[in-house]
A and B are shown apart, each in its own frame.
Chain A
Amino acid sequence: MIGILRYLRGYLRIKVWGFSPERFMNLCSNKEILLWDIARDGDAYYMNISLRGFYRLRSIVKKTGTRVAILQRYGLPFFIPTLVARKVFLAGFVLAVAFWLWSSHYIWDIELAGNYQITQDAFDDFLEQENITVGLKKSELDIEELEKEIRRAFPQVTWTCAMLSGTRLRIEIKENDVPMPEEQAQQGCTDLVAEFEGTVVSMIVRSGVPQVAIGDTVEPGTILVAGMVPIYNDDKTVKGYLPVTSDADIMVEHIRTEEFTLPFEYVKKEYTGRTEVRHFLRGWEKEWRLPQERPFLVYDSVIRENRPLLFEKLSIPVYWGDYTYREYLDVEYRYSPEEAQELLNEKLNTFLTSLEEKGVQILEKDVRIDTSGEEWLMYGEFLVQEPAGRSVSAEIPDTGENEVNE
């Protein structure tokens, strides 16, 4: 701390010699002129003295018959005039600080986290529509309004948080894990109809009038639950209908067939090991790289990108990196029967897993692998119990009387 204060006020390294240097030091201390790092070399004394103290030395020097020579100057009072003389350096420094301060008022990076269903592209389009882009002034950004707009534009977003961290806008969202039921979209009076042919094995009706019973055979389009609940008069004639949204868990047992195919031959990339690297620099939307010819006849490329980050907060939309071009050859291979069986089994397992996720119970399965023309064919027949019932708008039967509403 003392060192900083000395530097700010400025000090000198001086050489003192002559009749009585000891008296010189005593008088300095009497006049409260601070001396430090005093050393003797031969007949001369070397010491540091504050700049202000140095200006008061004249009388002491006369009195003691000593001579004083300045060896070195230290501190800010000596540095500033040097700095002023270097105008271009000073201007550059001032401009750099000004640019830094100016650029810190803008958003230079937008980061999205927590998205699974919403793609980055879709979100970027949304931000563009809202005029929230890289280069937007921070003061023009209304974070609360942005959060509201995100929830409005993406109904599956249940929670959102936008925050400014330096020049980075970080948006965190949480999506609804439970898929949104389609029936909700179709409000009002609806029937449930069968999507496939089969036998009803279980029924739990929550609202609506069941039109089939357990053990009945249904065709595609058969109404399972009607959304128009009849209201009877005392004489058992229909007075009117109460429209409801049908809701029921109905399991229908039926045979489901599925085919999986796999071509005999497939093409595989075989890298030759030859690569070429090209460096690039990108700022905003523009990219600069050295002109080059097509590196190989057939190739793919890997992009490695770096981004500078000043002080962990200030990010600048300038990137650099390189393209690595890798030459490869398309080589045709033929599946062996074992390989084909393995791949088809994988497809079958994926299909069965997807059925189980939909709540389908598989009772029996009969799977055969065969060849057909230029491909392997897996044919499967599955006896399944599957949830049935698709919502359709109900037609209001004409009773000749007014409809009774809730």
Chain B
Amino acid sequence: MDSLKLPKDVCLGALRVTLTGSTEAWIENYKGILEYTEHMIILQGKTCQACFEGSRLSIDYYTNEDMKISGCINCVRYL
């Protein structure tokens, strides 16, 4: 895969998370939301789950391709 220079997130179906400080996160390559509360958002990826913990969490937009989470993010965990 390295020799072919293929993007890993596409080939492996890995979650792609972009964090801007601790207030914004852009997520791609997910399958859906498993749980959404003000303090925790759990997303289902193809191979794993990601958990965003924090306070005043909200979803700015949510489409089939990507989503944006804003609020005070304290921790990103893979389950």
Contact = CB atoms under 8 A, between A and B. Distances in A.
Contact of A26 (B33, B59, B60): B33
A22 B33 CA distance: 6
Contact of A36 (B32, B36, B37, B61): B61
B52 to A, nearest CB: 13
Contacts of B61: 34-38
B58 A29 contact: no
B48 interface: no
B9 interface: no
Interface in B21-77: 31-38, 58-64
A25 interface: yes
A39 B33 contact: no
A38 B37 CA distance: 11
A32 B61 CA distance: 12
Task: Tell me what chain B mostly uses at the interface: helix, strand, loop, or mixed.
Answer: strand
Q: Quick one: which of A25, A30, A45 has the most chain B CB within 10 A?
A: A25
Contacts of B60: 36-38
A57 to B, nearest CB: 15
Interface size class of B (residues with CB under 8 A): 10 to 19
Interface size class of A (residues with CB under 8 A): 10 to 19
B62 A35 contact: yes
Interface of B: 31-38, 58-64
Given A34-B62, A38-B61, 20 more contacts: A21-B36, A22-B32, A22-B33, A22-B34, A25-B32, A25-B36, A26-B33, A28-B62, A29-B64, A32-B64, A34-B61, A35-B59, A35-B63, A36-B59, A36-B60, A36-B62, A37-B60, A40-B36, A45-B36, A47-B59
Interface of A: 21-23, 25-26, 28-30, 32, 34-40, 45, 47
17 contacts: A22-B33, A22-B35, A25-B32, A26-B33, A32-B63, A32-B64, A34-B62, A35-B59, A35-B63, A36-B59, A36-B61, A36-B62, A38-B58, A38-B59, A38-B60, A39-B59, A47-B59
